[in-house]
Amino acid sequence: MTDPKKSGKFKEYLEVERLKINQSLQDYFQVIIDGVNDREMKKIVTEIRNYTMNGGKRVRPILIATAFRMFGGRGDEIYRAAISIELSQSFFLIHDDIMDRSDLRRGFKSFHRKVEEMLGDIKDREHMAESLAIVAGDLAVDYSFDALTRSNFPLTVKFKALQQLVEIIKVTGYGEGLDMFSSAGVKLKMNDLIRLHLRKTAKYTLEGPLLMGSYLAGRDQNLNALKAYGNLVGLAFQLHDDVIGLFGTQEEIGKPPKSDVNEGKQTLLMIKAMERAEKGEKEFIQKCLDSGDINDHDFERLKEIVKNTHSYDYSRWLIERFIESGKRYISQIDGNPEQKEFLEWFADYLVSRRY
């Protein structure tokens, strides 16, 4: 972030990569949509494509491509494999929005809401839309494996990447389940929360994609430093996301600013504030998390408590610590300097989103 020239170069890299990923997704969906015979299901699959194409920074597939090149991989075939993680992302988000009852995603309608609109005047419309969204998510995870198997890589490396994809989906599933229990009131301690973030975010946003790219380049040893980078930066990313989730605007979050609180999410911000607040405030925080529909006044007071207890500062401090520790591992990665330099810049970039 310090060197604006470097920053400009890497931002351009992100943009060029993003476009290539999008092109590869478009190409993949064209083949898939052409293969669907029924009018109704063609519409649903087309909606999966639209949903996948709507926004998204493509961070995960870009990390696959970056790790691939860092370990000597070349050429554009990597994009055909890298989109697999973006298709998994659609799978997670489509199901997630049903579970969280979200109406919005990335500023657009969530998948089941969009389908509800498409269905028009049909009996039991809401349930039908949710059911079709369950099927759509199921198709998306299948597309994810499909895209990876279709990409043209030596079987041994492709297989290893596929096993990593299996692992990512498993770990993320455990994280999602745990997240649900926590929203339902199962109390999380600090180390439960770290474990949850490692699962729900670090694995599938950072560590998993970096490993997939490494495997596809034929590298399957000496990856510990890269894994450590992925886990630490992944943790920071989630903590930062939670800060934006409380203090950001609707535009920055992509859904209503009160969503996290209304879902009863036990973020580090809440846990630390609870730990440090006085008795009356503790009860107030709990009341907010249990409310399901917090009012403006309470929401402002909640944010004040988070600031006054220095819970906000603690999150910011921890984010920085994780980022710095993550970056320190980069020198131990035995790969090309160009991509290593990018990873260093990228760690800061990931947590630089304003709010």
Based on CB atoms, which residue is closest to a copy of itself, 3 or 138?
A: 138
CB of 172 to a copy of itself, least distance (A): 9
**CB-based contacts of 312, cutoff 8 Å, min separation 6:** 243, 247, 269, 306
- Residue 154 backbone zone (phi > 0: left; psi -120 to 50: alpha; other: beta): beta
Q: Which is nearer to a copy of itself, 212 or 347 (CB)?
A: 212
349 with 1: CB under 8 angstroms?
Answer: yes
Q: Could you tell me the smallest distance in angstroms from the CB atom of residue 38 to a copy of itself?
A: 5
The CA distance from 201 to 183, in Å, is 17
Min dist. Cβ of residue 85 to a copy of itself (A): 14
Measured CA to CA in angstroms, residue 313 lies from 289, 306, 307 at distances of 21, 9, 7
Closer to a copy of itself by CB, 108 or 159: give it.
159
Integer Cα distance of 42 and 91 in angstroms: 17
CB of 215 to a copy of itself, least distance (A): 13
- The site for a copy of itself (CB under 8 A) is made up of 36-38, 40-41, 44, 91, 95, 98-99, 101, 119, 122-124, 127-128, 131-132, 134-139, 141-143, 145-146, 149, 155-156, 158-159, 162-163, 166, 169-170, 173-174, 176-178, 180-181, 184-186, 195, 290
Contact by Cβ (8 Å): 63, 350? no
- C-beta of 207 vs 344, nearer to a copy of itself: 207
- Closest to a copy of itself by CB, 163 vs 222, is 163
Rg (CA), the chain: 21
The least distance separating a copy of itself from the CB of residue 79, rounded to whole angstroms, comes to 20
HEC letters along 99-155: HCCCCEECCEECHHHHHHHHHCCCCCHHHHHHHHHHHHHHHHHHHHHHHHHHCCCCH
CB nearer to a copy of itself: give 140 or 244.
140
Whole-number minimum distance, CB 144 to a copy of itself, in Å?
9
